[in-house]
């Protein structure tokens, strides 16, 4: 009889692995190594908190994604956020304030959430929120940025608060990156990398993987480029189609298996770097990890959503706690209906079943 899948054990093991690899990756940087050693202790304490909640029948995920702004200074081709109208050129009203985000981060800490990915829009447009995050060293905050707004002020914040880890978006070579993000963006990203490397700021790279660039962004040449540039963390984000005419860009099962095998090779050959895939192999994680199974998403207005690719919400953290959000009707139905466990070819199961998600949100069975 096959061993029953244990989600908490799987996630805790994943967190511990990331921390262990981060310690190894920063060994040559004494200041960063000291921080990571302290964070390793905090991570274990966070895991204990989640385990205690689990014993009480309440599952707390280790990860949270926070889109701290809807505003962005770029117009990248195929952007899911703009397609979902969650990303705009000017800051709309009713966005969460820095103080409100600060309270959310503190509650996350009390629950044992150890990783909060700061996204947008472009998160570097909200230094007030980033400063709040920096005040909570028990949580690691990867900041997913397009890299064009890296400034001396940002560098000072990153240098002071080592729990803030900028993660720069790049699509591959200069040609591939500029085709998707705009002319001249690659050179600005490269300049930002140079600045952070010279200041000993630990940073990472985020790569949207499509059927068109998967071989390029996993090649030895590209990985060597990132390593020379100072990137210590590489996050591969599988492209999720937001319109029917881009579905061909989503990696299929064969390509996802290739990515999984390639990551295993890179983890052995490039021990000074950390490699993560999102959403990764859902089969090994017992299904999709959204809606609080492994992570959930808070949008810039406070709406609690299953994930950034599934922008539906029936509860807002302005008027509720994170614990209440995790018990929302939408999240509960997604976790108990079997929707997250359904097989699908490439892309995202919640994108494929978006009509079902809408029905759950509207209270329909």
CATH of the domain at 307: 3.20.20.70
Number of domains in the chain: 1
Cα separation, 240 vs 346, in Å, equals 8
In order of 301, 307, 343, the CA distances from 96 in angstroms are: 5, 18, 36
Residue 2 is predicted with a pLDDT of 44
- Percent of the chain at pLDDT exceeding 90: 58
pLDDT tens digits, residue range 75-122?
877 776 776 666 777 767 789 999 999 999 999 999 999 999 999 999
The predicted model gives 119-140 an average pLDDT of 95
In a domain, 1, yes or no: no
Residue 283 is predicted with a pLDDT of 62
DSSP string, 171-193: -SSHHHHHHHH-TTHHHHHHHHH
In a domain, 278, yes or no: yes
Q: Do the beta carbons of residue 118 and residue 98 sit within 8 Å?
A: no
Residues 223, 202, 101: CA angle, nearest 5 degrees: 120
Cα separation, 250 vs 256, in Å, equals 10
pLDDT tens digits, residue range 172-222?
999 999 999 999 999 999 999 999 999 889 899 999 999 999 999 999 999
State both tokens at 205. Answer: 């790279």
Provide the domain limits for residue 237. Answer: 7-361
pLDDT class of 315 with cuts at 50, 70, 90: very high
Residue 287 or residue 84, greater confidence: 287
Residues 33, 38, 41: CA angle, nearest 5 degrees: 130
pLDDT tens digits, residue range 246-270?
888 888 889 988 998 999 899 889 9
In a domain, 80, yes or no: yes
In a domain, 244, yes or no: yes
Cα separation, 59 vs 35, in Å, equals 28
Cα separation, 12 vs 124, in Å, equals 30
pLDDT tens digits, residue range 154-164?
999 999 999 99
pTM, full prediction: 0.91
In a domain, 333, yes or no: yes
In a domain, 47, yes or no: yes
Question: Can you state the angle between helices 30-55 and 98-111, rounded to 10 degrees?
Answer: 70
Q: Which residues have a Cβ under 8 Å from the Cβ of 94 and sit 6 or more positions away? A: 301
In a domain, 2, yes or no: no
């Amino acid at each position: 009889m096959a061993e029953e899948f244990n989600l908490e054990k799987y996630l805790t093991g994943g967190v511990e692995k990331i921390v262990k690899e981060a310690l190894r990756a920063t060994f040559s940087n004494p200041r960063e190594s000291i921080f990571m050693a302290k964070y390793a202790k905090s991570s274990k304490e966070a895991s204990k908190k989640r385990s205690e909640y689990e014993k009480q029948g309440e599952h707390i995920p280790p990860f949270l994604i926070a889109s701290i702004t809807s505003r962005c200074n770029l117009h990248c081709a195929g952007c899911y956020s703009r397609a979902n109208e969650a990303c705009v050129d000017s800051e709309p009203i009713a966005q969460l304030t820095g103080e409100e985000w600060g309270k959310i981060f503190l509650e996350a800490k009390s629950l044992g959430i150890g990783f909060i990915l700061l996204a947008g829009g472009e998160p570097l447009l909200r230094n007030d929120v980033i400063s709040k995050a920096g005040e909570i060293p028990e949580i690691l905050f990867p900041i997913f940025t397009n890299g064009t707004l890296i400034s001396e002020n940002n560098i000072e914040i990153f240098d002071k608060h080592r729990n803030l880890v900028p993660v720069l978006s790049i699509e591959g070579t200069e040609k591939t990156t500029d085709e998707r993000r705009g002319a001249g963006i690659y050179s600005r990203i490269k300049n930002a990398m140079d600045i952070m490397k010279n200041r000993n700021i630990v940073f990472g790279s985020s790569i949207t993987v499509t059927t068109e660039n998967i071989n390029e962004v996993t090649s030895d040449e590209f990985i060597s480029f990132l390593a020379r540039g100072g990137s210590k963390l590489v996050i591969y984000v599988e492209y999720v189609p937001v319109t029917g005419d881009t579905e061909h860009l989503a990696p299929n099962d064969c390509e996802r298996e290739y990515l999984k095998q390639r990551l295993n090779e890179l983890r052995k050959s490039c021990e000074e770097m950390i490699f993560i895939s999102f959403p990764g192999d859902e089969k090994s994680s017992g299904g999709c990890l959204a809606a609080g199974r492994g992570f959930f998403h808070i949008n810039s207005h406070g709406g609690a959503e299953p994930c950034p690719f599934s922008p539906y919400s029936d509860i807002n953290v302005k008027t509720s706690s994170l614990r209440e959000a995790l018990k929302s009707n939408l999240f509960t139905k997604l976790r108990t209906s079997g929707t997250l466990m359904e097989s699908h070819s490439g892309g995202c199961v919640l994108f494929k079943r978006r009509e079902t998600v809408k029905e759950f949100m509207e209270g329909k069975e």
